[in-house]
Structure 1
């Protein structure tokens, strides 16, 4: 397989540096895909007729105005166009959405603006149009680097398409990431190590590496239940995870979150906002948000079905179906759940301020003695690599 030329890393200087603060993000959900992948339980929908992009754009702008009323004035630190397949949007649609965000909130130059894209929907002209609209980071859903597994995963692209998309992204955008799924049926550690090293040779600065999970409601779930789809057991999955950590660290792209790896300074700012438990406005069908209002944090969720969401927004000005007020205890639990995914860990003072208490000494001592967590000075606590393997249990212990 042909190798790709190394990019010019000096282009990265145009993005603002990470301040370490949670920040305020804006997430916009484009719910449409060309095809539904058999493992996917995201809010994505296939439409066989062209989507009325002008009508949806107008609805996005309406819902932004409603979210601005909830959030109050904010400085945006990142924007994420997710989906679905946002690269099915016209560049003019992306431009209008970004202009709308800048109208509702303060959006400084140099913030991270990410778009998800599938290699099968990548065209150079469209990529240049997205870049002209303001997108400065693209996240490609590559998922595998061999055609056999791409077909198994239901992807519409092959490896040749993936490499073309990676090269285009590297040529056009200051930053680029791509996703891979591992722990696929019959995948050996040696096969994954080769594929991962190949991926690192292509990736500029960031990789998202996810273990295949069987989600209820997906075609894979039915096949798995019937015994027709067998995924690696827990021991094999652990070996694959450990190989992932070792190789990425050795290649200068260590994990900064359970499934995300980056060269220093190239971490996803938007996802850090989630994991640092910052505020974010969720716009579009099925989008979620977290907006602080005094002592409470408001959790928002919109209608998932695109056409139903569209009608709600046109009638009411927004598609929000659920607004839950999270008190301090709930916020403290969410802070732990999100923050312990990060290698930087959780700010204990912030958790103590929200929860009104210290961690249970006996539970903390147990986790420390067994090597599942560690203290970073007196101010932070984080999971060890062993703790990351049982993250949910660690969170449950500390939250009690």
Structure 2
């Protein structure tokens, strides 16, 4: 049964040039209509995957901090009635660090949100302009301080490995971020995603992405600085103090069941992959016609589930337990990984193994995608 719930709010004030998430700009949003649609979509999931209390809820987007606190509260109240809440439930909401949205933090906390993830993205004003952000550094710092006053747990996002960025520049910016005292940092290298404005800009030679070797040096610097400050990486891009890891995201990476509602939301429950309609208007029409926003619903074979579990699990510093995966999915242990290539990469210092548990080393993490193609068993990849 699902123990985590993801709620997607698709609206933003502006589409960022690097963003390939399901986000949309609309002049007006009928909040009453959206409350009814999201509640209906939630009830549909609960009919299928209720049974255990929820241990995490995550409001993602889009920009969920644009949601009225009353709407957030109504969704949380319904979720608690449908599933029940674990006493230590983590309820996260993504937000922008603007003064307008920060003014809602107290009301969001009163509605039940106890963790916030702020898209600061940079602590340099010229970089924020390049990234298409609507806030400035001073505004972001004030929002972080307001968040720390209102929420038990605060995380901030930063984007690095930007065009022309040097180690000295990133070291200064990261040191400033670490000094803010948040218990969690999500640190992402700038990736040029297809069908974004940045992809067009690169194609038109408006700027060039940072090359791989300098980016790798910045990754190594990031690991060194965060570890020294007590926020080591527990996932390739996520860093936290002991006990402050995102419980919701660990649900994904440990391949546990979760329900996803709202436009474009994905879910994995009882061996079934779900995806909602992405376009807000199509989502609303589907809920009106069918009582839910599901676009596709597909049963996953055991080999495919095992492959997915292995692929996401190796993103974690803790890695994966091969014997446990084999038992869970009824797969031959030998089919999970290519033993020869695993041994090779272990000898090269890119993979470590402790009994049945394997994990990428700090040297292997930057090579994650390439190593996954090498290590995962051929039978699973083709499943």
TM-score, normalization: structure 2? 0.95
Matched, 1:386 2:363: yes
> How much has 1:324 moved relative to structure 2?
1.3
Q: 1:87, 1:121 within 8 Å by CA — same for their partners in 2?
A: no
1:47-95 C-alpha deviation (Å, 9 max, x unpaired): 122x111111111110111111221422211000010000101110000
Aligned with 2:4 (options 21, 25, 31) = 25
> How much has 1:35 moved relative to structure 2?
0.5
- Of the structure 1 ranges 307-316 and 70-79, higher mean CA displacement relative to structure 2 is found in 70-79
Provide the secondary structure at the position in 2 that maps to 1:222: helix
Corresponding residue number in structure 2 for 1:95 = 73
Aligned with 2:178 (options 192, 196, 200) = 200
Alpha carbons of structure 1 residues 122 and 313: separation in structure 2 relative to 1, 3 Å: same
Following the alignment from structure 1 to structure 2, what is the Cα–Cα distance between the partners of residues 72 and 85? 27
- Of the structure 1 ranges 359-368 and 235-244, higher mean CA displacement relative to structure 2 is found in 359-368
Provide the secondary structure at the position in 2 that maps to 1:374: strand
Provide the secondary structure at the position in 2 that maps to 1:194: helix
> How much has 1:396 moved relative to structure 2?
2.0
Residue ranges of structure 1 left out of the alignment (5+ in a row): 1-21
Corresponding residue number in structure 2 for 1:356 = 332
Alignment of 1:321-332 (within 5 A): 321-332=295-306
> How much has 1:228 moved relative to structure 2?
1.2
Corresponding residue number in structure 2 for 1:47 = 26
Corresponding residue number in structure 2 for 1:7 = none
Following the alignment from structure 2 to structure 1, what is the Cα–Cα distance between the partners of residues 163 and 103? 37
> How much has 1:204 moved relative to structure 2?
1.7
- Of the structure 1 ranges 297-306 and 388-397, higher mean CA displacement relative to structure 2 is found in 388-397
Q: 2:5, 2:57 within 8 Å by CA — same for their partners in 1?
A: yes
Alignment of 1:332-351 (within 5 A): 332-351=306-325
> How much has 1:386 moved relative to structure 2?
1.8
Following the alignment from structure 2 to structure 1, what is the Cα–Cα distance between the partners of residues 222 and 212? 15
> How much has 1:110 moved relative to structure 2?
2.6
> How much has 1:395 moved relative to structure 2?
1.7
Residue correspondences, number: 373
Following the alignment from structure 1 to structure 2, what is the Cα–Cα distance between the partners of residues 147 and 107? 41
> How much has 1:360 moved relative to structure 2?
3.1
Q: 2:2, 2:269 within 8 Å by CA — same for their partners in 1?
A: no
Alignment of 1:1-400 (within 5 A): 24-49=3-28, 51-120=29-98, 122-292=100-270, 297-353=271-327, 354=329, 355-358=331-334, 359-376=337-354, 378-400=355-377
Q: 1:176, 1:203 within 8 Å by CA — same for their partners in 2?
A: no
Residue ranges of structure 2 left out of the alignment (5+ in a row): 378-383
Provide the secondary structure at the position in 2 that maps to 1:240: helix
C-alpha RMSD of the superposition: 1.3
> How much has 1:124 moved relative to structure 2?
4.8
